[in-house]
Chains A and B, each alone.
Chain A
Amino acid sequence: MNEMDDVFAPATQQWVPVSAKLALARRLVLLVVLLPLAVVGVVVALVAGVPGWVPAAVAVVALGVGVWLWWLIGRRVRSYGYSERADDLLVTSGILFRRLVVVPYGRMQLVDVVAGPIDRALGITTVQLHTAAATTDAAIPGLPPDEAAALRDRLAAVGEQRSAGL
């Protein structure tokens, strides 16, 4: 699999990884969704008076899925990375479905910095790049606010320098 990895590697330098707090944020969301579901499942099974092994099975399955997703989130977050090259920004992500996006600085129309309530509590933000193409999907989640602001300012400056007409 190493052979395939360098297909998605940046040409010259290393990927800059995102903060591990992103994994925490996503795991919190996972808990918020999964826990009530599991509880409701078990309670319904108990009330309905089905044999005792059914609620136990439900709980085990929920736990299994939870653990798997927990582990997957960690891997997914580690797969995020960006790399600033001389003329373009590279963004990568994904494990099952891998993705590499090349966004030239001269094509950036605007840069968003967004943070939801959980993100804010944990101190991470998402930097989102927009070009004239609606299909450009270049978001870098899980950046510390300072890094995000610095990146945004660098991108804005270099984008202005190199901006080209449509």
Chain B
Amino acid sequence: MWVSVLRSIPVLLGVLVVFAVQVGGNLPGVGGSGLSRLLPVGAGLLLVGLVLSALGSYLSWSRREYWFDESGDLRVDSGVLTRQQRRLALSRLQSVDVHQPLLARIVGMAEVRVEVAGAGDSRVVLQYLTETEARALRAEVLARAAGLRPDAGTAPEQVLVTVPTRDLVVSLLLSSTTLVGALATAAIVTAAVMSEGAVGLLGLLLTGGLPLLAAFNQFVRFFGFTLAESPDGLRLRSGLTSTRTQTVPPGRVHAIEVTEPVLWRRLGWVRVQLTLAGSPGSSDQDENATSGVLLPVAPVAVARAVVDRVLPGVGSREFAWESAPARARQRAPIQWRELGVAVNPDVVATRRGRLVRRLAVVPHARTQSVHLTQGPWERLLGLASLRVDTAPGPVSVVGLRLDARAARRAVDEAATQARRARAASGPQRWMSPTSQVDALPQEPPTG
């Protein structure tokens, strides 16, 4: 059984062609002698290019099939010249995104990204689906991954947080890049006024333009950010021109980081980022991919509540910090007061950073390995640093310049707790009874 989506592509194709014909038809009327003869040629080339790319999209779409096989995994066959058959083990599902670029949104279409755990390219992107199909596919993927019946439908959701536009704008203007840009701009203007030469003002394009562009980019991306909770997991929705809805099933969060830039401190705001076991690096290269941002900006209390939902008992509890000793000042003169590590029965937490305070948390069940390191200068001072390795992502869990013995104790404790947590780790299909899970190859009975 594979789903046919034949109806949707001609719509997109039609819109493109009509748009191109209009552009082509209007341009010759612009006037001017040499230019008016060139313009139709350019418009014609544009039209040909558009038609060709639409044809290419159409071909790749028509040669794509997707279905669920008998073991409940998602299968995707695609490719025009080179055929690719891909099977996604839904027991390893990390996230499902419904993404609507601006043009697709206008014509009522969407793409679905299904990401499973794995190194490298471990996801499929299904483009040119209608909105209804996209939602149905997402619901079915989540239902099957949860171990429910495929036609269970979309789970109800409850909105946890919405980020007000005003807060978003203020937070972006107060970000350190904008601040550095503003300072540099002020410096250039001052220099230009003092020396009465205007050449330096060209630098304004760089110092003023780039940070503004970056801030605007973030604004477009996180506009209307909504975080909701459903039995399927967390739903993250945002976007001004193109919208993106990400669903993260329960227990997929590998690490969380709460960052507090110095300029946000007076407002009591933080940003929350998370690491999923998706394709490493994909978030940086692909601006439409999931960014690893759980909350672009929120008051501390709200962030704590959200962290509590994601990692129960972490946001509200105070950690028993093992702080860096005073002699760490000689190794880390600026941030030594902020450094520390805490190992409690659920998580390892580390904190660091003076200008941007970072609190990173990894659940024991997600720890991959633990490093203890000591450089010569640290050795002289009796210090050591530790790092908890997690799946690749924006969060790094490092405890720097701690007392050497305390660091070793923390490493041993983290390793012991991680072993206990692995033995007791939850089911991969989060809605199914545990007995069924034991039969799955990914989760053999642990002793």
Contact = CB atoms under 8 A, between A and B. Distances in A.
Our verdict on whether A and B bind, yes or no, reads yes
Interface in B337-371: 365-371
A102 B392 contact: no
A7 B387 contact: no
Nearest to B416: A87
Interface stretch (B62-70, B154-162, B375-383): B375-383
A166 B408 CA distance: 25
Given A11-B412, A165-B443, A131 B425 contact: no
A19 to B, nearest CB: 24
Interface in B406-447: 407-408, 411-412, 414-415, 418-419, 422, 425, 428, 442-444, 446
A96 B415 contact: no
A101 interface: yes
Given A104-B422, A164-B422, A8 B387 contact: no
B277 interface: yes
A2 to B, nearest CB: 13
Interface of B: 91-92, 117, 119, 254, 277, 280, 365-376, 379, 382, 384, 387, 389-392, 404-405, 407-408, 411-412, 414-415, 418-419, 422, 425, 428, 442-444, 446
Contact of B373 (A98, A102, A165): A98
Contact of B372 (A87, A100, A136, A166): A100
25 contacts: A4-B374, A4-B404, A7-B372, A8-B372, A11-B412, A88-B419, A97-B374, A98-B379, A100-B373, A102-B369, A102-B371, A102-B415, A106-B419, A107-B367, A107-B368, A131-B368, A132-B277, A132-B368, A133-B390, A136-B369, A163-B444, A164-B443, A164-B446, A165-B428, A166-B92
A103 interface: yes
A88 B117 CA distance: 23
A88 B428 CA distance: 23
B378 to A, nearest CB: 9
Nearest to A134: B392
Contacts of B119: 132, 134
B181 to A, nearest CB: 32
Nearest to A98: B374
Contacts of B411: 100, 102
A88 B415 contact: yes
B422 A162 contact: yes
A103 B280 contact: no
Which 4 residue pairs of A and B lie closest in terms of their CB atoms, listed nearest first?
Answer: A133-B389, A133-B368, A100-B372, A131-B368
